[in-house]
Amino acid sequence: MKVTVFGSGYVGLVTGACFAEAGNHVLCVDIDVGKVARLQQGEIPIHEPGLDDLVKRNFEKGRLKFTTSAEEGIAHGLFQFIAVGTPPEEDGSADLSHVLAVAETIGRNMTEYRVIVDKSTVPVGTADKVRERIDQALGERGVKVEYDVVSNPEFLKEGAAIADFMKPDRVVVGTDNPRTAELLKTLYDPFTRNRERMIVMDVRSAELTKYAANAMLATKISFMNEVANLAERMGADIEKVRLGIGSDPRIGYSFIYPGAGYGGSCFPKDVKALVHSAGEYQFDAQLLKSVEAVNKRQKQLLFRKIGAFFKGELKGRTIALWGLAFKPNTDDMREAPARDLMEALWAAGAKVRAYDPVAMIEAKRIYGDRADLDLVASAEAALDGADALAVVTEWQEFRSPDFDLIRDALKHKVIFDGRNLYEPALVKSFGLVYHGVGRGERLVV
Ligand SMILES: NC(=O)c1ccc[n+]([C@@H]2O[C@H](COP(=O)([O-])OP(=O)(O)OC[C@H]3O[C@@H](n4cnc5c(N)ncnc54)[C@H](O)[C@@H]3O)[C@@H](O)[C@H]2O)c1
């Protein structure tokens, strides 16, 4: 089948590459000229495990192509996927300008039937706005062309995006047109072979499903962080509590890890956008507001602990930072807790010596050259001359460190473990001070 994907970011590129891998002919359209040029030379602009090979293989086979020409894209695919960004506006609402710009271009150029598939995360009612834009553009041209607008939210996880796309838990399709649902079923069949995973529903329910999924996951994290803060004050160990509650199948073990707060390009913006949407329907989304507030507070926790340990004297100190990405296996630093920590440390006059297995280039892109940020080549190098170590991202390579080396390298023998990677007793047995999240020792008032 012929597929066009607008947007070659984390979602668009994975979508395009996976559809091509199944034998479809995919044309990816992006307005970022530099990005398209790099892709055309076989260079992958993001870090996503397995994506490199997948893109190269399909590019070489001629099934995956890249262009900046929207016209070419609209002429190419029966399916027109919209996978462009929907970043947050100042007021928390989702910025739909990129999505609607694509819709307008489609309306301006479409000459035959097209299935327009919204894969970007968009508020309920966006499909109607997409239709309006297309109708307006068609009206201005004085032509009538048949089309359908479908909501097909994406649930992939950065860091495991290929596996998630290839073997999805579910494929949600929002449409009122059974013919369109059938077309999408044919397109997705190769990814759902061992059992039917497509859930067809009306467009609005599909749009809300995506927000509900992310809001639920964010809620689980904030809930655990709330209980972790209680554990800290009550002399309990949240890691024991986690095991104790996770064993209940109604609760389950996944997504109940306490830590330095959630970040990334999705949870923060999607929770905010849902709160904002609720307001537009005159509903005060109290739980979601709290989820966000708890997370905001949690993202300050590491800084507050470090500040308390050094009795507020952070000026001139150097903090070693392990992990910059918002989670492991990605270079994405959007809303990463490491950013909150670094920026707070800088504001307090401290320096940061940071290491991340893949996000260093991204950190450099965001912050440029600055005297209070040293990006170093290894976890060990980050410790050199540092006062303390803060672990912010749970990369595999940070899980079993050489504690002797850490102790000897640090001026103050202290680890702030923002992901509860280490056993407090083990760390202490090496002569280090340990501060995790919710592990029974209260440092911050
Ligand atoms: N990143 C994730 O893990 C994830 C998961 C599920 C859903 N989503 C949603 O998917 C959407 C895309 O997210 P992302 O992380 O891939 O974003 P991204 O910022 O990585 O990529 C967006 C791409 O769209 C391009 N673009 C913008 N306007 C365009 C236009 N008019 N025509 C063509 N290309 C255009 C940009 O240049 C950019 O390359 C968002 O709505 C997001 O919420 C993201």
The tens digit of pLDDT for each residue in 107-157 reads 999 999 999 999 999 999 999 999 999 999 999 999 999 999 999 999 999
Q: Which of 5, 10, 66, 126 to mutate to test the pocket of ligand 1 (most atoms within 8 A of CB)?
A: 10
Smallest CA-to-CA distance from 142 within 108, 178, 184, 93 is with 108
Ligand 1 atom at minimum distance from 266 CA:
43
Region 172-192 average pLDDT: 96
- pLDDT value of position 95: 97
Q: 8 CA distance to ligand 1 centroid (A)? A: 7
pLDDT band of residue 194 (cuts 50, 70, 90) is: confident
Average pLDDT, the chain: 97
pLDDT band of residue 21 (cuts 50, 70, 90) is: very high
At 199, phi and psi to the nearest 5?
A: -115, 110
- pLDDT value of position 442: 81
pLDDT band of residue 445 (cuts 50, 70, 90) is: low
At 29, phi and psi to the nearest 5?
A: -115, 130
Q: Which of 8, 71, 84, 118 to mutate to test the pocket of ligand 1 (most atoms within 8 A of CB)?
A: 84
Whole-number percent of the chain with pLDDT over 90: 97
d(CA 111, CA 397): 53
- Length of the chain (residues): 445
Q: 380 CA distance to ligand 1 centroid (A)? A: 35
Cα distances (angstroms) measured from residue 58 to each of 14, 24, 42: 12, 10, 10
d(CA 58, CA 6): 18
- Produce one character per residue of 121-138: b if its CB has 16 or more CB atoms within 10 Å, e if not: bbbbebbebbbebbeebb
* Catalytic choice (127, 266, 302, 345): 266
Kindly report the pTM of this predicted structure. Answer: 0.95
Start-to-end CA span in the chain (Å): 60
d(CA 206, CA 173): 6
Atom 25 in ligand 1: residue holding the nearest Cα = 7
Atom 7 in ligand 1: residue holding the nearest Cα = 154
Ligand 1 atom at minimum distance from 10 CA:
16
What CA dihedral angle connects 213, 417, 377 and 324, to 10 degrees? 30
> What ranges in 126-247 are assigned the alpha helix state H?
126-141, 161-166, 178-188, 203-234, 238-246
Residue 309 has pLDDT above 90, yes or no: yes
The three-point CA angle 8-11-15 to 5° equals 85
Ligand 1 atom at minimum distance from 120 CA:
41
Q: 205 CA distance to ligand 1 centroid (A)? A: 21
Beta strands in 152-248 (DSSP E): 171-174, 198-201
pLDDT band of residue 264 (cuts 50, 70, 90) is: very high
Q: 12 CA distance to ligand 1 centroid (A)? A: 7
The single-letter code of the amino acid at 429 is S
d(CA 292, CA 287): 9
Q: Is 18 known to be catalytic?
A: no
d(CA 270, CA 17): 25
Distance of CA 330 to the CA centre of its chain: 9
The three-point CA angle 106-112-116 to 5° equals 45
> What ranges in 235-259 are assigned the alpha helix state H?
238-246
Share in percent of the chain as helix, strand, coil (round to 5): 45, 15, 40
In the structure, which protein residues have their CB atom closer than 6 angstroms to any atom of ligand 1? 6-12, 29-32, 35, 83-86, 98, 101-102, 120-121, 154, 156, 158, 265-266
- Angle formed by the axes of helices 238-246 and 203-234, nearest 10°: 140
Q: 45 CA distance to ligand 1 centroid (A)? A: 13
Smallest CA-to-CA distance from 208 within 129, 90, 133, 126 is with 126
Atom 1 in ligand 1: residue holding the nearest Cα = 10
Region 198-215 average pLDDT: 98
Region 342-367 average pLDDT: 98
The tens digit of pLDDT for each residue in 58-109 reads 999 999 999 999 999 999 999 999 999 999 999 999 999 999 999 999 999 9
Atom 36 in ligand 1: residue holding the nearest Cα = 7
Q: Which of 6, 27, 30, 81 to mutate to test the pocket of ligand 1 (most atoms within 8 A of CB)?
A: 30
Residues 6+ apart with CB under 8 A from 219: 287, 288, 291
Q: 11 CA distance to ligand 1 centroid (A)? A: 6
Q: 6 CA distance to ligand 1 centroid (A)? A: 9
d(CA 129, CA 133): 6
- pLDDT value of position 195: 85
